[in-house]
Structures are given as C-alpha cells and as structure tokens.
Amino acid sequence: MTDTPKNPFEQMLKQAQDMAKSLNPGLENFSPQGFESLWPTMPKEVMEMMFGNTVNKEGLDAKTRLLLTLAGLTCQGAQADSAVRQTVRHALEAGAKKQEIVETIGQMSVFAGIPAMTRALDLAKEVMGDNGDEDQ
C-alpha cells in the first residue's frame, strides 16, 4: 500500500510540500495565516475617500461598503480567510459595531448556508477578539 494521495489536488499539494521541504526544510511548517496583520488598517477618512465619497458625496459610506463586502465574502463560503479578517478589521475602523458585523454575517446564512456563516463568524471572532474595544 502506498501513501500517495489518489486525489489530483492532494497529489499536487503533496508534491509542492515535498519540493518546499527539499529546498528549505524550514518551509515544511510554513503557514501564511496572519500575513494580513502586516498590512496596516486604513484610517476611516482614507476609506471614505477611496470607497466613493470623493466622486459620489451622497453615496454609501465606508462602513456600509465594508459590511456589504463582508456579506459577499460570506456568500462565497468565507473561503478567503485573509480577506474576511481584513474586511472585519477595516469595518471596525470605519465605525461598524461588533453587533453589526455579526448581524451582517448572520443574515447571509439565508443565502450562503449555515457552514459559510459559521466559518465567517469564526474568522470575524478572531479579529474582534483581538480588538480591545468592547463595543457591542
């Protein structure tokens, strides 16, 4: 019996892991999780300028746009961990309350399903747990 995976994706992943291990043994346990913390959180004013208020003064504010982005990421199954965590972090900076973030994700359970909602909530909790703000 062989330990070679039968699934083509698993085979490709194992091959990449073996190659990384042979090139640099330190890469064997490498994980990109947490890389988003290297990117600074934009100030609310910058987000307001970049997300439309420069061109459309009566348009959606940054908080609303970020909550909509979070809803979309949840509907995609919350597969992009870094994108979800960064969006939550930026939404908090733009003035979103923790309750608004939870409600946004919860509302998407109707469209994306419970597993996607649960995954997005887990990712959001990682960010909101690190935030010293106890705002509900």
Output the pTM of the full model. Answer: 0.66
Report pLDDT digits (tens) over 5-58: 577 877 877 887 788 778 877 766 666 666 666 677 777 777 777 766 677 777
**Cα–Cα nearest to 96, from 53, 72, 68, 63:** 63
Range with lowest mean pLDDT among 58-62, 102-106, 117-121: 58-62
What pLDDT is attached to residue 132? 45
Report pLDDT digits (tens) over 77-110: 888 888 899 999 999 999 999 999 999 999 999 9
79's tokens = 């597969």
Q: How far is CA 111 from CA 68, 71, 75, 76, 123, in A?
A: 14, 10, 7, 10, 18
How far is the C-alpha of 21 from the C-alpha of 28, rounded, in Å? 5
How far does CA 79 lie from the centroid of its chain? 8
What pLDDT is attached to residue 72? 94
Amino acid sitting at position 120: A
Q: If DSSP states are collapsed to H, E and C, what string results for 12-44?
A: HHHHHHHHHHHHCHHHHHCCCCCHHHHCCCCCH
DSSP state of 78: S
3-class DSSP assignment, residue 132? coil
